[in-house]
Chains A and B, each alone.
Chain A
Amino acid sequence: LLILVPEQFQEAIKQWFIKNWGNVASVWGLSVSIYVLRVAKGARRAAEDAKMASRTRNALQELQSAVVSSAEIGQYASTGHWLVVKLRASEVLGCCRNTVNRWGEDSALKGSRNRLNHAAEQMRSIAEEATQPEPNLQAVIRAQLDAHEALNAVVGKILKEQEARS
């Protein structure tokens, strides 16, 4: 750096550095610390994003299988297989409750908690109705469609957010 400075100033700069080397080293150290902090913050954010993406992926997988089970409830109810209806409804109910409690605070799911709670409640009512001696098919199908619509809306929202992020 000194080579670039005109010769008459080189000695003065040298002296200045000798006198102030401590300050120069402090400023240099501070700059390095700020740089390292920024890199560490970026790495932490990237790790958090990756963790959230993985959580959302897990939630999505569970919800997609819940959508399949929900559709099956309608088919089994129509054919009078009430024991299977009860089992499937309990499965979907558990999935909805798990999703809300485990991932409910994630940004992708925050706006969907009402829908998941609603789907869970509909599944609870289907499971209870399925144990009756003569279950009300029309009411079960209506509740199943209502829950199915809510679950599909949540899955759609997560997929949309994933697409927007990528």
Chain B
Amino acid sequence: MMDNTDLVIKLLDATKQGKIDWRPTAKTDEFTASFGGKWTLLCRQFATGSQIVERLSLQNAAGEELLSIRDSDISNVTRLYEMARRYALKVDEAIADLMKEIDEPQS
């Protein structure tokens, strides 16, 4: 049987390299990416009681959930969520813009 840890690590690497086009959905703290023409990834953060949970799910083209991994199963899911969020919300570009703005002389 395939190890889910390998999948999460592979997704982390692909996200780091900008190979996965994460996009924010209409729900707060939820990001999605479709690839291969068959699969859709969903990475979300939500609260259960006093706990904040990150969850990664994989769906097929019919919208059926094939896989659901929580951060309590594999800790790298939290890292993946954070990277997906940064990519989807273009956080790095915003930081670069902000730094450029700070460096420019005030008019």
Say yes or no: A122 contacts B61, CB within 8 Å.
no
- Bound: A66/B54 CA distance, A: 32
Q: Which of A101, A121, A129 contacts B42 (CB 8 A)?
A: A121
Interface 1/0 per residue, B82-97 and A, CB below 8 Å: 0000000000000000
Minimal beta-carbon separation of B41 from chain A (angstroms): 9
From residue 101 to 124 of chain A, which have CB atoms closer than 8 A to chain B? 101, 104, 110-111, 113-115, 117-118, 120-122, 124
Secondary structure type dominating chain A contacts? helix
Complex interface bits, B40-79 against A, C-beta within 8 A gives 1, otherwise 0:
1010000000000000000101110000000000000000
| Minimal Cβ-Cβ distance residue in B for A97 | B63
Q: How far is the CB of A126 from chain B (nearest CB, A)?
A: 4
Interface residues contributed by chain B, number (CB under 8 Å)? 21
Task: Give chain B nearest CB distance to A72 CB in angstroms.
Answer: 15
Distance in angstroms between the alpha carbons of A126 and B25 in the assembled complex = 8
A-B contact count (CB 8 A): 70
**A97 in contact with B61 given A104-B37, A110-B37, A118-B40 (CB within 8 Å):** yes
B13 to chain A, nearest CB (A): 20
Q: In the complex, A139 Cα to B29 Cα: how many Å?
A: 10
Would you call A125 and B63 a contact (CB within 8 A)?
Answer: no
Residue of chain B at shortest CB distance from A122: B25
Q: B26 and A129: CB pair below 8 A?
A: yes
> Interface residues, chain A, CB within 8 Å of chain B?
93, 97, 100-101, 104, 110-111, 113-115, 117-118, 120-122, 124-126, 128-129, 136, 139-140, 142-144, 146
Task: Kindly list 6 other residue pairs between chains A and B, CB separation below 8 angstroms, not including A120-B40, A122-B25.
Answer: A114-B36, A124-B63, A125-B27, A139-B26, A139-B28, A143-B25
| 16 chain-A/chain-B pairs, Cβ below 8 angstroms | A97-B61, A101-B62, A110-B37, A111-B37, A115-B34, A118-B32, A120-B40, A122-B25, A122-B32, A128-B26, A136-B27, A139-B26, A140-B26, A143-B24, A144-B26, A146-B23
